[in-house]
Structure 1
Amino acid sequence: MTFTLVARCRDTGMLGLAVSSSSPAVASRCIHARAGIGAFATQNFTDPTLGRRGLDLMEKGATAAQSIDIVSATASDAPFRQLAAIGPHASPAAFTGASCLAQTAEHFGSDCVAVGNLLASTGVPAAMVAAFEATGGHLAARLVAGLAAGLAAGGETEMVRSAGIVVVADLPWPVVDLRVDWHEADPIAELGRHWAVWEPRLPLYLARALRPAEAPASDTV
């Protein structure tokens, strides 16, 4: 049903997530992040409130592992939930309930964790982590590369239809929040095209928000 990569960039402090699913509009329900606090994914039979609860705990000082432990222990219908989280410094963490849709898998890197359910192969998360760690550039680009690798490794048992990424930096809003809510052929490739359009414009939109008197009026890059 869903495969997700949760990650941070050691160089910039950015935190982010990328997700894809056979379900529509998966990013609107599953991925949550707060600048300087953490990134938290909630999926399988998704309860979006768990992402916000996890980040609330991390904002109060919990590590990713502690927030996962608390949320998974107190969530309603916890066996049906799959969770993953990362903070600015400590190790990432994940939880897969016993009633999640098979096949499930998790794989950890030093600065990321990938999780999935209803997978065509249990190697999907490992492929995502490997691609993330082998890719340079902006965190968003590395997240998209991870999604693409997950799909190439088998993805879901059903055709994926939606995808999205969220990246937070040092501002109270996401610097990247891109979604493909439904695509008949390849939402991950379409998400990559969205990022290719957004990336050169990102400095412009930050300038308009933070230094409007200095920012150009044209979106041409």
Structure 2
Amino acid sequence: MKQLLLALALLSGLTRPVRAQVYSATDPLAHTYSIVARDPQTGDLAVAVQSHWFSVGTSVSWAEAGVGAIATQSFTNKSFGPRGLALLRSGQSAQQTLAELLRTDEGRDVRQVAVVDRNGQVAVHTGIKCIDFAGHRTGPQFSVQANMMLTDQVPAAMAQAYEAAAALPLPERVLAALEAAQAAGGDIRGRQSAALLVVRAQATAEPWTDRLVDLRVEDAAEPLQELGRLLRLHRAYEHMNAGDLAVERNDVPGAIQEYEAAEKLFPRNLEMQYWHAISLANKQRLLEALKLLRPVFRQEPNWRTLTGRLPKVGLLTVSAAELHQILTLR
């Protein structure tokens, strides 16, 4: 009810039909800052956002591999996401897509929306009734936008940070833009949730692999810190997945290398320590494996139980004596 009263008060200057169309229970008031971008090196597409609003990523962020990325915020019109992607998919440019979305929207004055297409063209709109401080900046293949900010420096800070981080991979680069926004004052209400979505430059025959990064922090005191932690964890598990694939190929040295890389990123993660140790054992490096397994077993005894089940499926290829030595480790 509080949100509904706020919406009605802010829209008191509009006619009754417009007010009904602008706000509904399914279109939240996602006042926020965000970035849409295309990586000029890889062609990958990204959208990232932070707000003082629960689960902002489910409202603001939209992207599709080989198509484009969209951020819809302020008085959010969620339909802009799927409708905009459909327009981009049909061959419309970012500017054509934005124009069509706004043409049919009587609430355009309270909307903020940004689009980047597969070619890196960008288009952005900040409605004249978006709450101050509100604005946007565009640059080569990216757009940053913000509304209800504490200061008017947020878009400029985001653009500068994104351009300065050109050497970073796209996910880390857009995260740098969000962090710069917060440092410049951020949302006047504070912070609550954040999201990061990155998709491939081109769709593949395996669409389940087309989302390269899909992370959301729904409710946290420091959502950007948590988003950064999740991104680092995501990177660590990329190494874990590569290690698992190496195991499938019977490439034990390759698996060890990948598990070691993962463990360096998150040295306290038991899962990473455990599979690193199992790979060492399979490479007849038992003493090194035992050194890693001892603290894992002490902290969580179920890993010891799991170990006894691995030989049956071929994931632990040690002798019976070596298995006994592992299982009785103290």
TM-score (ref. length: structure 2): 0.62
Query: 1:3 aligns to what SS in structure 2?
Result: strand
1:89-148 Cα distance to aligned partner (Å, 9 max, x none) = 243110112222222110011121000110112221111111111112221100111100
Residue 88 of structure 1, CA deviation: 2.3
Residue 207 of structure 1, CA deviation: 9.0
Is residue 45–residue 199 contact of structure 2 (8 Å, CA) maintained in 1? yes
CA spacing shift, 1:75–1:130, aligned 2, 3 Å: same
Q: Percent identity?
A: 33
Greater displacement, 48-57 / 95-104: 95-104
Cα distance in 1 for partners of 2:68, 2:162 equals: 18
Q: What does 1:102-113 correspond to in 2, within 5 Å?
A: 102-113=132-143
CA spacing shift, 1:178–1:90, aligned 2, 3 Å: closer
Is residue 17–residue 31 contact of structure 1 (8 Å, CA) maintained in 2? yes
Q: Does 1:183 align with 2:213?
A: no
1:16 maps to: 46
Amino acid at match of 1:167: V
Unaligned segments of structure 2, at least 5 residues: 1-30, 260-270, 277-330
Amino acid at match of 1:16: A
Q: Does 1:202 align with 2:238?
A: yes
Is residue 2–residue 117 contact of structure 1 (8 Å, CA) maintained in 2? yes
1:59 maps to: 89
Residue 154 of structure 1, CA deviation: 1.0
Is residue 38–residue 120 contact of structure 2 (8 Å, CA) maintained in 1? no
After TM superposition, where is structure 1 displaced by more than 6 Å over at least 4 residues in a row? none
1:13-59 Cα distance to aligned partner (Å, 9 max, x none) = 10001100001100111110011110011011112111111111011
Cα distance in 1 for partners of 2:177, 2:199 equals: 18
1:150 maps to: 181
Cα distance in 1 for partners of 2:155, 2:88 equals: 24
Cα distance in 2 for partners of 1:55, 1:24 equals: 24
CA spacing shift, 1:73–1:197, aligned 2, 3 Å: same
Is residue 167–residue 176 contact of structure 1 (8 Å, CA) maintained in 2? yes
Amino acid at match of 2:189: E
Q: What does 1:11-50 correspond to in 2, within 5 Å?
A: 11-50=41-80
Is residue 63–residue 90 contact of structure 1 (8 Å, CA) maintained in 2? no
Amino acid at match of 1:197: L
1:168-205 Cα distance to aligned partner (Å, 9 max, x none) = 01443411000111112x11111011101101323655
Cα distance in 2 for partners of 1:6, 1:100 equals: 19
Using CA pairs under 8 Å that are at least 6 residues apart, name the structure with larger relative contact order, 1 or 2.
1
Is residue 207–residue 214 contact of structure 1 (8 Å, CA) maintained in 2? no
Cα distance in 2 for partners of 1:83, 1:157 equals: 19
Greater share of strand: 1
1:100 maps to: 130
Counterpart among 164, 172, 191 of residue 195 in structure 2: 164
CA spacing shift, 1:107–1:24, aligned 2, 3 Å: same
Q: Does 1:193 align with 2:229?
A: yes
Cα distance in 1 for partners of 2:234, 2:119 equals: 28
1:70 maps to: 100
**In the comparison of the two structures, how many residue pairs are matched?**
218
TM-score (ref. length: structure 1): 0.90
Amino acid at match of 2:69: A
Select the structure of larger CA radius of gyration. 2
Unaligned segments of structure 1, at least 5 residues: none
Q: Does 1:141 align with 2:172?
A: yes
Is residue 133–residue 148 contact of structure 2 (8 Å, CA) maintained in 1? yes
CA spacing shift, 1:32–1:211, aligned 2, 3 Å: farther
2:294 maps to: none
Query: 2:211 aligns to what SS in structure 1?
Result: coil
Q: How well do the aligned residues superpose, as a CA RMSD in angstroms?
A: 2.3
Residue 213 of structure 1, CA deviation: 4.8
CA spacing shift, 1:212–1:40, aligned 2, 3 Å: farther
Greater share of helix: 2
